[in-house]
A and B are shown apart, each in its own frame.
Chain A
Amino acid sequence: MQEEELVQKAKKGDAQAFGKLYDLHMPAIYRFALVKVSNKTDAEDITHQVFLKAWKHIEEYKFQGFPFTSWLYRIAQNAIIDFYRTSRTHQDIDALPEIALSSHLGLDDRVDKAVQVQLVMSAISRLDETGQNVLLMKFVNELSNKEIAEALEKSEGAIRVIQHRALKQLKQLFEHHGTDEHYRTTKDA
C-alpha cells in the first residue's frame, strides 16, 4: 500500500493504517532523536511524543508535494527543541553501545559497530544543529534533498550547501581527533 493511501486512511481514523506508518518511520525518527539527545530514555520519550502528536493531528497534514516524512521530522525537531528548553543537556554516549544497536548483529559485530557508532556520534554532536540534521537525514535516514528541504523549511540548494559544509567539518573533526586511526585500531584489535 502506498504511503499516501495509508495517510489518507489514517486521517479517517484507521488505526491500522497509522500503525503501518509507525512501523515504517519510527526507527528513523528514533535514530534521529537518539543522535540528537544522546540518551536512550529521552530518545524513546521524544519518539513516542512525535508519533502521538502525529496521530492526534494527522488531519492537519495535507499532501501537497509535501512528504509525510518531512512532516514527521518537523514534529521531531520541535519535540527536540522543547526537550532542550525544558531539561538540561546531558550526553550519555557511553551507554550507547549496549542499548541501541540492532539485535540482528552477532556479539563481535555488535561490539565493533558499537565503537564506531560511539565515535561517529561524538563527532557529529560537534557540528552545528542544521549540519547535524542534514547529515542524519541524508546519510543515515536516506531522505531525498526535497524531503530534507521541506522538513527544515529551506531550499534544496541550501541543503546541498549545508551538506557539503557539514561533511567538510566532519572530515576535519575526524582528522583532528584521529578518529579514523582510532577506528582502524579498534577494528584490527
Chain B
Amino acid sequence: MEQMNIIEQLKTLKYIKPSEEFAFLSKQAILQTSRRRAFDFSFFFRPLYVGGFASVFAFLLALSFILPKSQEQVYASLDLKDLTSELDDVTISVQLREVEYNKSIETTIASALKEISSDEAKHLNPSLLQEEKGDVNEIDDVSQQIDKLLQEVLQ
C-alpha cells in the first residue's frame, strides 16, 4: 500500500462528527459556568484611580512627618511588651504598700503589747483607773446639781 493511500485512509476519520445535540448542550453548559477570574491589577492603573491613590499616599506620607511623636506614643501604648511591663510595675507598687502597712501594724501591736505587759503603762493600772472613776463620779454630782438649778430657774 502506498503512503498516499494510507494518508487517504487516515483522512476518512474526518467523517467522525460529534452529534449536534451534544455540541449544543455541552456549549451551553460550559458558557453558563462561572469563570474563575484572576484579580485584574489594571484596575489600579486607571488615570482617575492613579491620581486618587497618589493623593492618599502623599497625605499619609505628610502625616508621618508632621506627627512622628504622637504616632510613636500611640504605637508605644499598643505595644504588648510595654503594656506587660506597666502591669508589672502596678503589681509591684501594690505589693510594696501592703508590706509597709503590715510592717506598721506589727510595730503598733508590738508596742501595745509591751505597754500592757509593763508597769510603765500607768493608764492601765487598776488603782489609777479606780481613782479616775471616782473623779468622773464627782463630776457627775456637780453636773446633777447644775441641772437642778437650771430647772428651778426655768420654772
Contact = CB atoms under 8 A, between A and B. Distances in A.
Interface of A: 13, 15, 18-19, 22-23, 26-27, 30-31, 34-35, 43-44, 47-48, 51-52, 55-59, 96, 99-103, 105, 113, 116-117, 119-121, 124, 135-136, 139-140, 167, 170-171, 174-175, 179-180, 183
Contacts of B38: 59
B33 A120 contact: no
A23 to B, nearest CB: 8
A51 B26 contact: yes
Given A170-B6, A180-B1, A27 B18 contact: yes
Given A105-B15, A136-B13, A139-B11, A56 B35 contact: yes
B11 A27 contact: no
Given A19-B31, A22-B27, A27-B18, A120 B1 contact: no
Contacts of A124: 10, 13
A140 B9 CA distance: 10
Given A124-B10, A167-B3, A102 B35 contact: no
Interface of B: 1, 3, 5-7, 9-20, 22-23, 26-27, 29-31, 33, 35-38
Contact of B30 (A44, A48, A105, A175): A48
B18 A44 contact: yes
A119 B20 CA distance: 25
Main SS at interface, chain A = helix
B10 A135 contact: yes
7 contacts: A27-B17, A30-B17, A31-B13, A48-B30, A102-B16, A124-B10, A124-B13
Given A116-B9, A180-B1, A31 B14 contact: yes
Contacts of B14: 31, 140
Given A26-B23, A171-B6, A100 B33 contact: no
A102 B15 contact: yes
A55 B35 contact: yes
Nearest to A18: B31
A124 B11 CA distance: 12
From B7, B18, B19, residue with most partner A Cβ within 10 Å: B18
A30 B18 contact: yes
A103 B17 contact: yes
Contacts of A52: 29-30, 33
**Residue of A35, A139, A183 ringed by the most chain B CB atoms within 10 A:** A139
Given A47-B18, A52-B33, 8 more contacts: A15-B31, A31-B17, A43-B18, A51-B27, A56-B36, A58-B35, A136-B13, A139-B11
B29 A48 contact: yes
A59 B42 CA distance: 14
Contacts of B13: 31, 35, 117, 120-121, 124, 136, 140
Most chain A C-beta atoms within 10 Å of own C-beta, residue among B5, B7, B9, B36: B9
Contacts of A48: 26, 29-30
Contacts of B9: 116, 119-120, 174, 179, 183
A34 B27 contact: no
Nearest to A115: B12
